[in-house]
């Protein structure tokens, strides 16, 4: 019976089991789960992404081009989903998924609860990084920039456009606060639903809920290659007085420069 526990385990790991149990455990978990062997083909060398493939010499139009392609991909349900990374002033990071709800040459817009952890970190360190990843296209876009709150009027305009259940959800939740049970949240939602059951009755935007604008100063466009020689083209703001090596750095438009990065 005990020997059956070791069936299928390599002799090297059996030796590790008796000499160093910690090594045995970690290496056995890797063997059993097969994580180290997980890989999928990306794009081929003939489908590379280079500076000549850019649709614009500034990043906003390039972003729009890739985003529109992602929207048209039937297997991508939410092309506007992005990972939002923030950090405290001491550099302790956190990341979560949010939805982009606006984009133009001013930047990227998202909405959240101003009492949340991300909001608290943005108050003390108003910079963030956003990542869009579209696996079906083997593409991602990383954005870095400064963050500022939207006006109350703009936040209210968007809040009033949301479905009523989403409005009630924002009103029901003290985002990030500890709660004793799911039932407490559900009861709060049911109570508010009863209060605002009249469809003509306006649901007020909570004072603690609103939008942010990410003003980008860096975009990185990434496209995966099966060889792992991935394509990376980075747009950044040219620093005042910066002299660039035009063999490596391309002068773009509207104060942007762009460079190809090694994978």
pLDDT digits (tens, 9 = 90+) for 189-210: 999 999 999 999 999 999 999 9
* Mean pLDDT computed over 53-81: 98
Which of 7, 39, 182, 228 is labelled catalytic?
Answer: 228
Among the ranges given (8-22, 83-97, 137-151, 159-173), the one the predictor scored with the smallest mean pLDDT: 8-22
CA pair distance 136, 78, nearest whole angstrom = 12
Helix (H) / strand (E) containing 123? helix 117-124
pLDDT tops 50 at residue 1: no
Q: What is the chain's mean pLDDT, rounded? A: 91
Sign of the alpha-carbon torsion through 176, 179, 181, 184: negative
Can you give the pLDDT at residue 12?
A: 60
User: pLDDT band at 161, cuts 50/70/90?
Assistant: very high
172-196: burial string, b at 16+ Cβ within 10 Å, e else = bbeeeeeeeeeeeeeebbeebeeeb
**Is position 228 annotated as part of the catalytic site?**
yes
pLDDT at 17 over 60: no
Name, in order, each residue with C-beta under 8 angstroms of 33's C-beta and a sequence gap of 6 or more. none
Residue 102 has pLDDT above 90, yes or no: yes
For 23, the token pair is 């090594």
Q: Are 58 and 235 in contact (CB under 8 A)?
A: yes
Averaged over 231-243, what is the pLDDT?
A: 94
């Amino acid at each position: 019976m005990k020997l059956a526990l070791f069936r299928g385990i390599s002799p090297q790991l059996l030796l590790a089991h008796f000499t160093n149990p910690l090594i045995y455990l970690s290496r056995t978990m890797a063997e059993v789960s097969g994580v180290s062997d997980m890989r999928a083909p990306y794009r081929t060398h003939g489908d590379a992404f280079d500076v000549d493939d850019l649709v614009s010499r500034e990043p906003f139009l390039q972003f729009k081009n890739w985003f529109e392609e992602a929207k048209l991909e039937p297997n991508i349900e939410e092309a506007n989903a992005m990972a939002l990374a923030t950090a405290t002033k001491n550099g302790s990071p956190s990341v979560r998924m949010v939805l982009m709800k606006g984009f133009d040459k001013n930047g990227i817009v998202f909405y959240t609860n101003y009492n949340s952890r991300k909001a608290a970190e943005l108050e003390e360190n108003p910079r963030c990084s956003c990542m869009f990843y579209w696996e079906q296209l083997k593409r991602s876009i990383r954005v870095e920039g400064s963050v500022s709150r939207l006006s109350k009027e703009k936040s209210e305009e968007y809040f009033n456009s949301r479905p009523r259940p989403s409005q009630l959800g924002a009103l029901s939740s003290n985002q990030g606060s500890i709660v004793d049970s799911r039932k407490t949240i559900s009861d709060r939602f049911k109570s508010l639903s009863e209060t605002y059951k009249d469809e003509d009755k306006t649901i007020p935007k909570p004072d603690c809920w609103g939008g942010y604008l990410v003003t980008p100063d860096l975009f990185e466009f990434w496209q995966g290659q099966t060889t792992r020689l991935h394509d990376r083209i980075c747009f950044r703001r040219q620093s005042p007085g910066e002299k660039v090596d035009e063999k490596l750095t391309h002068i773009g438009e509207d104060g942007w420069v762009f460079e190809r990065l090694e994978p």
